[in-house]
Structure 1
Amino acid sequence: MTTDLTAGASAAATDLTAAGPDHPHRIDALLLERWDRSPELPALVSGATTVTMGELRDRVLAAAAALRGHGVRPGDRVVVYHERSVEFVVAMLAVVFAGAAHAAVDVGEPPARTLRTVEDCAPRAVLTGRLLRGRLAGLPAGVPVLTEDDLAAWPAARVAAGGSADDPAVVLYTSGSTGRPKASLISHRALVSRLLALQETHRMDERDRMVHHTACSFDMYLSETYWPMLAGAAVVIAEPGRQRDPDHLAALIREHRITTFYCVVSLLDLFLLTRDPAERYDGLRQVLTGGEPLAPELVRRFHARSTASLTNLYGPSECTVYCTAWVCPRDPDPEQVLIGSAIRDTELWILDEHGAPVPDGEPGELWIGGAGLALGYLDRPELTAERFVESPPVRPGGRLYRSGDLVRARPDGNLEFLGRVDSQVKVRGIRIELGEIEATALRVPGVRRAAVVAHGSGGDRRLAGYLEPAGDADREALVARVRTALRTWLPTYMVPADLTVVDGLPLTPNGKLDRLLLERRAAERAAEQRAAGREAAPPAPTDGPAGLEQVVAQEWCRALGLSGVGPEDDFFELGGDSFKVVGVVEALRARLSLEIPLTALLLEPTVAAFAAELRRLTEDQETAR
């Protein structure tokens, strides 16, 4: 499937750009025109401090001139190491106005990682605050570390924008990477394209205000700062360290009459859970979320508390903030949340492992093209060539980014996110998409988050599911509802043999699901169940259908290392093989004093059918006596 939306900006977005053809995609030129047009409007609000557009312009131009005086030139990189503040915004803008690309580094990261990131960036200079300068003492000699004091003496000067729209404007280091840091180079063209797309569908103007609270390790901070300023709206800056404080964010929304708000899915969930359930947020006009799968249950809770629209954004940082969007419908709320369709200046392809388009409605890897693509990875030519594919067969002469994300197109053109391609697993020779199982579990009311992992090897490889409940849900009932939903929507081999309700899913330091930890937990749980199964099973009645089914279920759990099985579960789809057939049949022969052929389980592999066959064998053998 391909969607090509490369038309120019609509009337709703044209007020962001100048009529001249030389710089319609340079962020510095567009900002300067906006500030000159309305210098009296508020640009930044931080506590009791308000900075107008004219004041911001003068501070940025002075800081840019100072950077030029310290040797910064077009094509250079400058690290910005500031707390979230007016100074942070001024610094990142000054770098761009000096013709360089800014690399914002989160001050909350460990010092060792900070130094490693700065060294990888090889910047011409580092901008920081007086109180943070000491943390950078380990930098290589020759890299100047400049504070606001070093920039203050320079007068404002209009540095010519010049350059190309394809020059780098941002060096984006994502949080939590391991080993050598990886950074995407974002051009002026890519950044402006995304800002125009946001303005086209979620228009802001001088009456609007947006909170800047997202950490600079997540690319949405670019939209929280650049987008409002270009639109003439004000940026309200959250206090450092309080970006995940629901009380602080609620106070900002209320006191500053915030109209546009972005937060990742987990923060939106936390916000609604910790605030007074009776509190409403009708002053908000539009809320954007993303970064994680969005559950229908969370959409329902949000819609019950606010009249604002809720838009689910999707896009890897290599595609600059986002590349698809889906406005969650109301009345009724959605049963499944999608990631939407391509935004402007974007094309999407869904391809198989050989790079060929998949049939309509089939899952495949999402390849992304268009103006929003990053230039590549900083000083990583091999990785750039691997992920940013030049002239692929489906797009001769073009350039596409391999997202590694698994999606499926719906008949209306919207995309369903299924997880990561590298989360594909094979269980007993069958390829399974873990993300598809998780997405299906999220459709069940009462499920806040879901994760599925595969553990074990060979014939012992099986699936385990983990559910994080919403509120005080009955855990046993929730497991039953999820299992029913999975059996309704998925093949039996995709239904995890074990479902566990947990208080919270484990996360890595960068806030992503820790699948390795879940795999270890699943393996440990299976080992404990196998050990428990080796102990004598409690006596169970064998008369009547329920009695025999209970006996069969006990022996299956013992052989397969499971905590429970249902009457329609298939022995082989749960991980059984010919060796386990022998063990189960021998155990039942001894337990029931019954002659049971091995073929009985091979021909009747479900609990209910096998129990019925055992009843028939029992009756036949009693008659023969």
Structure 2
Amino acid sequence: MTRHPGATDEFAPADAPAEVRPVWAAFRSQVVRAPEATALIIGGVSLTYRDLAHASAGLARLLWQHGLRPGRVVCIRTQQSALSVIAMLAALRTGATWAVLEPDLPVGRFEALCRDVDCAVVLSEGGDAVPASALSAMPAPPTVVDAADLPLTRLVEAGQELLTDPYPPVPEQSPAYVAYTSGSTGVPKGVLVSRGQFAESISCRGSVYGTERSVFLIALRLSFDGILGGMFWSLTDGHTLVLPDPRQLVQVAEFARLAREHRVTHLFNIPSYYRAVLQDPGGLPDTLRVVVVGGEAPTPQLVGAHNERLPGIRFVNEYGPTETTIACTVEIDPDPSRDRIPIGRPWPGTQTLVLDERLREVPAGERGELYVGGSLVALGYANQPARTAERFVADPYGRPGGRLYRTGDIASVDERGALHYHGRTDDQTKIRGARIELGEIESVLERHPGVEQAVVVCEPAGQDEPQVIAFVLPTPGSGPLDAAKLREHCRGRLMEQATPTLFVPVDHMPLDRSTKVDRAALRTLIPTDRQASGGTAGGDWSGHRRAVGRIWAEVLGHSDSTPDDNFFAVGGSSIKVIDLHDRLDERWPGALRVGELFDHITIAAQAQRIADRLGERAPGQEPAPPATYEL
């Protein structure tokens, strides 16, 4: 049976963690051991372990007064900040559950949370973060607490007055957090993870991350559960956690500067983001020891670039659906000469099986569906018993009562016993670390009044991230659909990664013999002419803008971009930036460096930069605004 235990080579995780400590108790032990050590740095705020403990005590008391209890949820709907981290610790302290849903995530996620769990309190940033319409539709709406009324100094002072915690102990089977992912039916799913599962996942990491004093910088948002491994390993093992604020997170150059400023030893990135970080001209600090990637598959080219630019720095590839508590397998220092980078071997306490459609073992080297068993398999989906029963199944090969999580990922095992990922069994993918469900995109598009039906496909783009393409059938009498308006409709309801990069209008949906939509036939309708002329969308196309727009169309495969569109918001990526630079450099040699394309991310800004370099800048013209890298 292909049940793969944790690997035992030099840098692999041990077969079992030496000790599994409850996360809150492990954090408290660090407060006692080194109270003045720096625990958290974010957004210009630096907190010691004592400060963080006091602030969490003060906030816990406030949340308790507003009805937070074990079994109830606090929704953290704030921008990434010290308060966000304090709120997570406060939930652990009280025995309650947290859910992080930043204000820019679709309001549907918040509505799903309040439908699926008992949400007692919402930490909010102003009225826009929690729409009044959403609250008014709830029979028992949660209490909304404005973050503006909670200055850190006040929370720290309030916590200093508390000598003991008045909260009752809770079992480790209680939920620690709920993490929302997209649903294939268009309905988001809340994954419930217990305190014990969370603690086991954290305790595994020391053998991979190391035991020396560390400074860990993570390029993720708090709503992505992938952040929790490095974050709570740091806070429970006495290290310093550095998190970018929202502005620093979306600017690669600023993120790299943050790494240098704080002399970080550990980085966690999504592979496509790390590719851009490696290209930053300022480089990374000589203190760096470990780079961890996760959220999507790294390419051999990325690992090769890492080895070339940072020789001797450990490269760690983590894999795991949210349903397996942050990550369930790990590969350390993979070989870039292989065709693909393995997802590795399981963490301690985890088992992986590669099975066929009849739940039989497949031979080594052959592909099957990956199932994950063991202690890291989450509790299930909040308020969705049918969906839970479908994905969390009985383990026919393990102990009585054991469960397997059916990942939906296609995998194989190589001659070394390492797992390899080969894509999805369903219509799901990851783009820049975010799980994308095609059904959710179709559901959103079909809520547009001009769309009768939408079918979405994800097309591979060589070594690049997949391209989301939407085929749209107009409602009768509505007239032609405008791609720019469809994209704007999606932006208010979907994460940026899920917004289609190309909209293909159709006059009917082709069907196959089973009367289902024939996706293969639809794929033949994807435009193959990448020499589309720039400037078909609205806006000012004067100067060099039209020529730059043509190059964008060649790189992106569509000509829907306006002069002021964000390159990354209309289908661009860190890999496509390289292609864009090569084409721009061929037309205007030396006018733009590749790093500048992360600082000038619109057609207008790039055209103006080219004009500046050629001495064509208009008098009084202001420079282009700084870049953003959308996550």
Q: Please say whether Structure 1 and Structure 2 have the same fold, judged by a TM-score greater than 0.5.
A: yes
Q: CA deviation at 1:161?
A: 6.4
Q: TM-score, normalised by structure 2?
A: 0.64
2:421 corresponding residue in structure 1 = 417
Q: CA deviation at 1:528?
A: 9.4
1:199 aligns with 2:203: no
2:497 equivalent among 493, 511, 516: 511
Query: Which of these two proteins has the greater Rg computed from alpha carbons?
Result: 1
1:55 corresponding residue in structure 2 = 51
Deviations 1:51-73 (A, max 9, x none): 10011111112211222222222
Counterparts of 1:344 and 1:32 in 2: how far apart (Å)? 24
Q: Is the 8 A contact 2:42 2:244 kept in 1?
A: yes
2:290 corresponding residue in structure 1 = 286
Deviations 1:285-333 (A, max 9, x none): 1011122121111111121111321111111000011111111346x75
Q: Is the 8 A contact 2:26 2:237 kept in 1?
A: no
Q: How does 1:25-40 map to 2 (within 5 A)?
A: 25-40=21-36
| CA-atom RMSD in angstroms | 3.6
2:122 corresponding residue in structure 1 = 126
**The residue matched to 1:403 in structure 2 has which SS?**
strand
**The residue matched to 2:86 in structure 1 has which SS?**
helix
Q: CA 1:11/1:159 → structure 2, altered by over 3 Å: closer, same or farther? A: farther
Q: Which amino acid aligns with 1:216?
A: L
Q: CA 1:408/1:395 → structure 2, altered by over 3 Å: closer, same or farther? A: farther
Considering Cα pairs closer than 8 Å and 6+ residues apart, tell me whether 1 or 2 has the greater RCO: 2
Counterparts of 1:286 and 1:320 in 2: how far apart (Å)? 21
Counterparts of 1:6 and 1:293 in 2: how far apart (Å)? 20
Q: CA 1:12/1:268 → structure 2, altered by over 3 Å: closer, same or farther? A: same
Q: TM-score, normalised by structure 1?
A: 0.64
Q: CA deviation at 1:133?
A: 5.8
Q: CA 1:468/1:282 → structure 2, altered by over 3 Å: closer, same or farther? A: farther
1:259 aligns with 2:265: yes
Q: CA 1:355/1:210 → structure 2, altered by over 3 Å: closer, same or farther? A: same
Q: Which amino acid aligns with 2:195?
A: H
Deviations 1:459-515 (A, max 9, x none): xxxx99754468xxxxxxxxxxxxxxxxxxxxxxxxxxxxxxxxxxx9984636969
Q: How does 1:126-165 map to 2 (within 5 A)?
A: 126-129=122-125, 135=131, 138-139=134-135, 140=138, 141-148=140-147, 149=149, 152=155, 155-156=161-162, 157-160=164-167, 162-165=169-172
Counterparts of 2:459 and 2:219 in 1: how far apart (Å)? 33
Aligned-residue identity in percent: 30
Q: CA 1:513/1:295 → structure 2, altered by over 3 Å: closer, same or farther? A: farther
Q: How does 1:58-97 map to 2 (within 5 A)?
A: 58-97=54-93
Deviations 1:206-264 (A, max 9, x none): x3111243123321121242111111111112121432321111011100011111111
2:329 equivalent among 324, 338, 344: 324
Q: Which amino acid aligns with 1:173?
A: Y
Q: Which amino acid aligns with 1:174?
A: T
Q: CA 1:11/1:291 → structure 2, altered by over 3 Å: closer, same or farther? A: closer
2:191 corresponding residue in structure 1 = 184
2:567 corresponding residue in structure 1 = none
Q: CA 1:466/1:212 → structure 2, altered by over 3 Å: closer, same or farther? A: closer
Deviations 1:408-443 (A, max 9, x none): 11121101111112369xxxxxxxxx99xxxxxxxx
Counterparts of 1:345 and 1:227 in 2: how far apart (Å)? 17
1:242 aligns with 2:248: yes
User: Is 67-76 or 124-133 further displaced after alignment?
Assistant: 124-133
Deviations 1:118-151 (A, max 9, x none): 4444301112345766646632354111235368
2:407 corresponding residue in structure 1 = 403
**The residue matched to 2:524 in structure 1 has which SS?**
helix
Q: Is the 8 A contact 1:12 1:203 kept in 2?
A: no
**The residue matched to 2:497 in structure 1 has which SS?**
coil
Q: Is the 8 A contact 1:72 1:100 kept in 2?
A: yes
Structure 1 unpaired stretches of 5+ = 18-23, 425-433, 436-462, 471-505, 530-625
Q: Is the 8 A contact 1:89 1:225 kept in 2?
A: no
**The residue matched to 1:243 in structure 2 has which SS?**
helix
Q: CA deviation at 1:5?
A: 4.3
**The residue matched to 1:200 in structure 2 has which SS?**
helix
Structure 2 unpaired stretches of 5+ = 431-456, 465-489, 505-518, 531-631
Counterparts of 2:496 and 2:184 in 1: how far apart (Å)? 8
Q: Which amino acid aligns with 1:524?
A: L
1:480 corresponding residue in structure 2 = none
Q: Is the 8 A contact 1:81 1:129 kept in 2?
A: yes
More helix per residue:
1
**The residue matched to 1:253 in structure 2 has which SS?**
helix
